[in-house]
Amino acid sequence: MTPAPDLPRTGRLLDLPEARVRVYEEGRADGPPLVFLHGFMTSAFTWRHVHPAFADRYRVVLVDLPGSGDTPAPPGGRWDADRWVRLVAQLLDELGVDRAVLVGSQMGGSLAAWFAALRPERVEKLVVMAAGVLGEAETNLTLYRLLAHRRFGPLVARLLPKGHFRKRWLAAHGPDHRPEPGVVERYHRQLRRQGAQMARVGLDLRLSYGEHFDALVEPIRGLAVPTLLLFGADDRLVPPSTGRRFESLLLDSRLVVLADCGDFPQEEKPKEVVEAVERFLGTDDD
């Protein structure tokens, strides 16, 4: 039996000024840096079907963001967009990277967009998937706030039934998506163990978007960084209209709407994601 794909190695923990962060690297040490940023409630594991396709040409860097995966609980204080941007800049500095291709999905896509808007000189190209920073059709700030509550959050995370979690998880995907065995259980275990700390930093970033999802509009307007936008046609959380809003603000962008896909393109349509990113980066064999 072929083993299920996973992270490349055990990784290493970087001590950055803002937080400790675990990274996993593979590919060519002298290749162009390709940095993957995951979304809320996931981890670097979410890229398991995508990152191997780029290891022969790129220096692939997968990140467990603060509080997620094998990265420790983040320090206190407010984790707004500016702090997240500082963290990414510190990460690149520690890796010895001047400019990188950033690939982000969901919260990680929003973070990548913030970083590109504020530090464009450090972004070679940008891939943004299902990022809600410019608009969401459905949000559940109540759940965010419950999980982020200092006193009750850890209890809510531990007690959220697996069946309820699975139902919500599948509802965020396209109607025909069938997760691999054990994947939902893995994410549920992470929620029970780390849900409160993930929600605390995720909520701060989410609140940075502005009441009408307009906080990033002026910073990103006219951004010339080449950008690939990947959004799911059946995404109930972040609809394709958000991708079109990105496209209207950026000078050099291409929007791809993936059929039969929800809020997790990298998990639902990894083959299509790899092909689109390869075309965008000019590394396909056509």
Report the C-alpha gap between 257 and 240 in whole angstroms.
7
- The answer to whether 68 and 94 have CB atoms below 8 angstroms apart is no
| For range 112-123, the mean pLDDT | 98
Report the C-alpha gap between 209 and 217 in whole angstroms.
9
pLDDT of residue 143: 75
Mode of pairing for the β-strands spanning 20-27 and 227-232: unpaired
Which segments of the chain are extended strands (E)? Answer: 12-15, 20-27, 33-37, 59-64, 100-105, 123-129, 227-232, 253-258
What percent of the chain clears pLDDT 70, i.e. is strictly above it?
94
pLDDT grade for 286, boundaries at 50, 70 and 90: very low
Q: Return mean pLDDT, the chain.
A: 92
Report the C-alpha gap between 124 and 286 in whole angstroms.
22
φ, ψ at 129 (rounded to 5°): -120, 130
What percent of the chain clears pLDDT 90, i.e. is strictly above it?
78
pLDDT of residue 137: 86
Residue 279 has pLDDT above 90, yes or no: yes
From 41-45, 141-145, 247-251, the region with the lowest mean pLDDT: 141-145
Report the C-alpha gap between 283 and 275 in whole angstroms.
9
| For range 179-204, the mean pLDDT | 92
Mode of pairing for the β-strands spanning 59-64 and 33-37: parallel
| For range 267-286, the mean pLDDT | 87
pLDDT grade for 8, boundaries at 50, 70 and 90: low
Residue 244 has pLDDT above 70, yes or no: yes
pLDDT of residue 146: 81
Residue 162 has pLDDT above 70, yes or no: yes
pLDDT of residue 72: 92
| For range 222-233, the mean pLDDT | 98
pLDDT of residue 9: 64
| For range 71-88, the mean pLDDT | 95
Partners of 125 in beta bridges: 101
Residue 1 has pLDDT above 80, yes or no: no
Alpha-carbon Rg for the chain in angstroms? 17
pLDDT of residue 5: 62
pTM across the whole model: 0.94
